Structure 1
Amino acid sequence: MDDSAPRSVRSTFSWLVGASQVLGLVSVVLTGVWMGHYRGGFAWNGSVQEFNLHPLCMVLGLVFLHGDAILVYRVFRNEKKRNVKVLHGVIHLLAIIISIVGFAAVFDFHRAAKIPDMYSLHSWCGMATFILFCLQWGMGLLFFLFPGASPWLRASYLPIHVFCGLLLLVMAIGSCLLGITEKLLFSIMPAYSQFVPEGVLANTLGILLVCFGVLLGYLITREEYRRPPNPEEESLSVHFNTFTEGSWRDDIPFTRLTSS
């Protein structure tokens, strides 16, 4: 946080960020415990143990790492914007790679077990989330990391990019909740209503994922936790307002409007 911010705001922010990391890490650990202890562990041989990599990779990649990639703009609010952009993109790339491993695991298991692919609501939502996640990452590279997009174009796309980032986090958590329910119904349906330990653990995992998403959403949307505008961002805002409000001035050189 900025040193000029009130001490209470900085303290609250630090506690909330810490809580979000605890929730995210515990969610990943609980997924590993569920798949490792109750579902037989992990392997890469086409067996059900290979499938167990799927939920672990999805929770780690599309939820925890995705949430942290969004959060870096709040945690490193006083670092150079370029460095934070690179970190944001790298964490998202890592999330994509881990997610690809998770998708490969489930498709390989389905192929070995002769199970149809992409028939459930969970699979539809999960695949849509992943495809949009990759598109979001690619668009972010084009607009914000590579010097191709003009300032007014970046300024107009920025609110969409921020909204889609939060939307994808919601979609990822929703897909995980569908997957948790589907896995429990397939695995322990007769005993699920008897509050068996595996069912309680999986339900707890779902609650933690929801709490993680809610806390991330709170941290991202609170005005006092926003990154203070730097000259680059203020320039983007001025250029965007100039174009949208129709206040074009002939005395502003074109090179000044298009420089980043």
Structure 2
Amino acid sequence: MEDFRRFAVALSAAAFFGVASIVFVGVWVSHYREGVAWDGGPGEFNWHPVLVVSGFIFLQGLAIVVYRIPWTWRFNKLTMKFVHAGLHLLAFIFAVIAMAAVFDFHNAAGIPNMYSLHSWLGLVALTLFCLQLVLGVGIYLIPVTPAFWRAAFMPLHVYSGLLLFGSVIAVALMGITEKLIFGLGNPKYKDSPPEATFVNVLGVLLVVFGALIVWIATRPAWKRPSDQVQHTLHTEGGGVEESKVGPVLSELSDGADAEPWGDVRRRSGKLDDQDN
């Protein structure tokens, strides 16, 4: 990998801010709010921010960059596709439970559902995330999917994933601000009580975590090489300079997603014959 030290710093920073966000939301609901429960009261509502931050944001961010972690490159691409899909599925389950907690709390307290912009965009994000998950599994994990479908859908899949990730963070920021405005009475949110400052810091942590994940996911030099290239470098002793290999790995990685392994091998064999 090119610039491995920078990658390690970026990944470590993302992990730090992600875990810090989970810690902050846990402290928020336990210290400033009524903790968590599943009884229709405020404690049940508190599951919503906890599950959104820990699952819908943190796990989704991890799923986005899991391909780029060099320690996972020892596993073949298909295995990592299942890991990628599994993390997204777990994030979706967390988000569904978080949504159920809000509806159950609102119904028990007689509060109307789906009246705020936060709720509208949250439901849209969850629906589109489900669609992204279904299409991703159907196109990239089902062997009968035509290769040209995978190639054509890949740019949209990547763009949609990053767009949804950023949207979820934006909706979460709207939600925690809305909670502070409605939940703080005396002193009010505008008076900057300790809880308001604490939760504002949580929002900053989420933004920084999201920015780092997007940065890691969009750096071409940090792409996972194709399984074919990894095998070649391993058997040949990795005698190619990293600065020359990086762009080739990036191109072949895209190709590995776009065509079956058998076609890659046949095409590679033909190229090898021509080179010889």
- Category of TM-score, reference length = shorter chain: 0.7 to 0.9
Aligned to 1:97: 93
Aligned to 1:228: 225
> 2 CA distance for matches of 1:126 and 1:111?
18
Give the CA deviation at 1:29.
1.1
Is 1:203 the counterpart of 2:197 in the alignment? Answer: no
Residue identity matched to 1:11: R
Is 1:130 the counterpart of 2:151 in the alignment? Answer: no
Is 1:51 the counterpart of 2:72 in the alignment? Answer: no
Give the CA deviation at 1:98.
1.2
Is 1:60 the counterpart of 2:54 in the alignment? Answer: yes
Specify which of 168, 180, 186 is matched with residue 182 of structure 2. Answer: 186
> 1 CA distance for matches of 2:39 and 2:225?
50
Q: Provide Cα deviations, 1:171-199, integer angstroms capped at 9, x if missing partner.
A: 10000010011000001154222221100
User: Relative to 1, partners in 2 of residues 1:103 and 1:191: Cα closer, same or farther, differing over 3 Å?
Assistant: same
> 2 CA distance for matches of 1:174 and 1:235?
33
Q: Provide Cα deviations, 1:46-81, integer angstroms capped at 9, x if missing partner.
A: 001100001111111111000000110111345310
User: Relative to 1, partners in 2 of residues 1:238 and 1:115: Cα closer, same or farther, differing over 3 Å?
Assistant: closer
Give the CA deviation at 1:233.
4.4
Specify which of 206, 214, 218 is matched with residue 215 of structure 2. Answer: 218
1:1-260 paired onto structure 2 within 5 Å: 2=1, 5=2, 9-75=3-69, 76-77=72-73, 79-188=75-184, 190-231=187-228, 233-234=254-255
Retained in 2: the 8 A contact 1:78–1:227? no
> 1 CA distance for matches of 2:137 and 2:178?
35
Residue identity matched to 1:28: I
Structure 1: which 5+ residue stretches go unaligned? 240-251, 253-260
> 2 CA distance for matches of 1:165 and 1:77?
21
Could you say what secondary structure the match of 1:193 adopts? helix
Retained in 1: the 8 A contact 2:49–2:98? yes
Retained in 1: the 8 A contact 2:226–2:256? no
The count of residues paired between Structure 1 and Structure 2 equals: 234
Q: Which moved more, 1:56-65 or 1:190-199?
A: 190-199
> 2 CA distance for matches of 1:236 and 1:141?
13
Retained in 2: the 8 A contact 1:47–1:112? yes
Quote the RMSD (CA, aligned, Å).
1.8
User: Relative to 1, partners in 2 of residues 1:25 and 1:236: Cα closer, same or farther, differing over 3 Å?
Assistant: closer
> 2 CA distance for matches of 1:61 and 1:94?
7
> 2 CA distance for matches of 1:148 and 1:185?
51
> 1 CA distance for matches of 2:27 and 2:217?
30
Structure 2: which 5+ residue stretches go unaligned? 229-252, 261-266, 268-276
Could you say what secondary structure the match of 1:201 adopts? helix
Give the CA deviation at 1:229.
3.6
User: Relative to 1, partners in 2 of residues 1:237 and 1:135: Cα closer, same or farther, differing over 3 Å?
Assistant: closer
> 1 CA distance for matches of 2:139 and 2:207?
30
User: Relative to 1, partners in 2 of residues 1:108 and 1:38: Cα closer, same or farther, differing over 3 Å?
Assistant: same
User: Relative to 1, partners in 2 of residues 1:123 and 1:236: Cα closer, same or farther, differing over 3 Å?
Assistant: closer
TM-score by length of 1: 0.85
Aligned to 2:250: none
Q: Provide Cα deviations, 1:128-147, integer angstroms capped at 9, x if missing partner.
A: 11111111111110000111
Give the CA deviation at 1:230.
4.3
User: Relative to 1, partners in 2 of residues 1:235 and 1:193: Cα closer, same or farther, differing over 3 Å?
Assistant: closer
